[in-house]
Amino acid sequence: MSKLTTLHEFIVAKQKDFPFASGELSRLLNDIALAAKIVSNDVRKAGLVDHILGAQGGQNVQGEEQQKLDVVADEAFIRAFENGGEVCGIASEENDDFLAFQSDTAKKGNYVVLFDPLDGSSNIDVNVSIGTIFSIYRRISPNGTLATLDDMLQSGEQQVAAGYVLYGSSTILVYTTGNGVNGFTLDPAIGEFFLSHPEMRMPENGRIYSVNEGNLNDFEPTLRAYISYCQSNENQTGKPYSGRYIGSLVADFHRNLIKGGIYIYPAVPSAPQGRLRLLYECNPLAFIAEQAGGLATDGKNRILEIKPSQLHQRVGFYIGSKQMVEKAMGL
Ligand code: AHM
Ligand code: MG
């Protein structure tokens, strides 16, 4: 039997690859794994426990209804970061403003984490896959002080690590620290993540396109032409591509990462700047895509080079197999 590698063993073995190999980032990744297990457990109970399933009654900063599980996940991750000692502040899709942790230990933390605690939350009540997305930066404010907005508004190129957890038919944690992408599947019986997808690579080309086609008439001509190309016999496969849209970005991205494909959410009249958030969704997945050989743009510019000006900034998002993204951009 080949040896199983746990996430913890993998993180320790790779510690020397980190830009700041002091063990802090290793501990932070382990904190994330712990919060992921807690949330995974809550997600698995969602259909059983009435008080978890259903709307919380409040709205988040973007006017969207918050589901109870959104709040549960947000709190689980915040708790892990606040208690872990490596993080001085966080920003989350579910909170209006960023949070600077107040304790002396936290003020000495060298990292900030930006995250979407439960992406695809409209899918919770219908038993469809959802996920957590996270992005880790070194702080730029002085160690020992409170985290600042500037710590949060760094461009994606500055990320030191990023990842996601997909609560799907199994729970998988995928992350990068800038040295490739690896995936770990949770064995729920013993509560341990095991390396299941080493050195993930995104195929250069694919035959899956993921887009909310209800918005098709609002797409600009280049994108409409690309969708027609996907649906025609004129593409490299000689037959129409498959349309696959789960409506959970993490799940759509994960499938396309493995099989090859493209996910597109452009700016449309109902979401004039795009629907997805640069800091919590696009930057982390763009980092992973690029590390796996894929590409991520807003339709014109590389996502990782965009300088954010607001915490909840939205952008158009084209992400996936390199050749498909280039073609969709009209290159
Ligand atoms: P959320 O973070 O509020 O869940 O929103 C993000 C989601 C993505 O997961 C998904 O791809 C997209 O929004 C779906 O939007 P739409 O229903 O407009 O297609
Ligand atoms: Mg989201």
Using pLDDT thresholds of 50, 70 and 90, give the confidence band for residue 15. confident
CATH code, domain carrying 107: 3.30.540.10
- Flag whether pLDDT at 20 surpasses 90: no
pLDDT tens digits, one per residue of 121-130: 889 888 899 9
32 and 149 in a single domain? The answer is yes
Nearest CA to ligand 1 atom 18: 212
Distance between Cα 89 and ligand 1 center (Å)? 25
Cβ–Cβ contacts within 10 Å for residue 200, how many?
A: 18
227 and 152 in a single domain? The answer is no
Q: In the prediction, which pLDDT does 46 show?
A: 75
- Flag whether pLDDT at 51 surpasses 70: no
203 assigned to some structural domain = no
106 and 251 in a single domain? The answer is no
259 and 172 in a single domain? The answer is no
Using pLDDT thresholds of 50, 70 and 90, give the confidence band for residue 146. very high
Note whether 113 and 135 are within 8 A (CB). Answer: yes
303 assigned to some structural domain = yes
Residues with CB under 5 A from ligand 2 (ion): 116, 119
255 and 161 in a single domain? The answer is no
How far apart CA 167 and CA 128 sit, in angstroms, is: 9
Identify the domain containing residue 261 by its residue range.
208-328
142 and 191 in a single domain? The answer is yes
- Output 164 or 69, whichever has higher pLDDT: 164
Mean pLDDT of the chain: 93
- Flag whether pLDDT at 60 surpasses 70: no
Q: In the prediction, which pLDDT does 315 show?
A: 98
202 assigned to some structural domain = no
Decide which of 177, 197, 217 is a domain's last residue.
Answer: 197
255 and 170 in a single domain? The answer is no
Q: In the prediction, which pLDDT does 18 show?
A: 66
Q: In the prediction, which pLDDT does 325 show?
A: 98
284 and 173 in a single domain? The answer is no
Distance between Cα 61 and ligand 2 center (Å)? 13
pLDDT average, residue stretch 138-158: 98
CATH code, domain carrying 282: 3.40.190.80
Q: In the prediction, which pLDDT does 237 show?
A: 93
| Terminal Cα-to-Cα distance of the chain (whole angstroms) | 48
Q: In the prediction, which pLDDT does 124 show?
A: 86
Nearest CA to ligand 1 atom 5: 120
Q: In the prediction, which pLDDT does 187 show?
A: 97
Q: In the prediction, which pLDDT does 82 show?
A: 96
173 and 258 in a single domain? The answer is no
Residue among 120, 123, 129, 163 nearest 40 (CA): 129
Q: Give me 184's structure tokens.
A: 């770990």
pLDDT tens digits, one per residue of 254-306: 999 999 999 999 999 999 999 999 999 999 999 999 999 999 999 999 999 99
Using pLDDT thresholds of 50, 70 and 90, give the confidence band for residue 182. very high
Using pLDDT thresholds of 50, 70 and 90, give the confidence band for residue 173. very high
Q: In the prediction, which pLDDT does 21 show?
A: 63
Q: In the prediction, which pLDDT does 5 show?
A: 96
Q: Which residues of 209-233 are buried (b: 16+ CB within 10 A; e: fewer)?
A: bbbeeebeeebeeebeebbeebeee
Q: In the prediction, which pLDDT does 326 show?
A: 98
Residue among 115, 159, 162 nearest 137 (CA): 159
Distance between Cα 258 and ligand 2 center (Å)? 21
Share of the chain above pLDDT 70, in %: 92
Under DSSP, the state recorded for 271 is: B
State if residue 121 touches ligand 1 by the CB under 6 angstroms criterion.
yes
State if residue 220 touches ligand 1 by the CB under 6 angstroms criterion.
no
Using pLDDT thresholds of 50, 70 and 90, give the confidence band for residue 4. very high
Note whether 137 and 87 are within 8 A (CB). Answer: no
Using pLDDT thresholds of 50, 70 and 90, give the confidence band for residue 35. very high
159 and 282 in a single domain? The answer is no
Instruction: Please state the domain count of the chain.
Output: 2
State if residue 277 touches ligand 1 by the CB under 6 angstroms criterion.
no
193 and 159 in a single domain? The answer is yes
pLDDT average, residue stretch 313-323: 98
2 assigned to some structural domain = no
1 assigned to some structural domain = no
Using pLDDT thresholds of 50, 70 and 90, give the confidence band for residue 16. confident
Note whether 206 and 324 are within 8 A (CB). Answer: yes
- Flag whether pLDDT at 140 surpasses 80: yes
Decide which of 197, 217, 246 is a domain's last residue.
Answer: 197
Using pLDDT thresholds of 50, 70 and 90, give the confidence band for residue 62. low
Decide which of 166, 197, 228 is a domain's last residue.
Answer: 197
218 and 172 in a single domain? The answer is no
12 assigned to some structural domain = yes
97 assigned to some structural domain = yes
State if residue 129 touches ligand 1 by the CB under 6 angstroms criterion.
no
How far apart CA 176 and CA 112 sit, in angstroms, is: 16
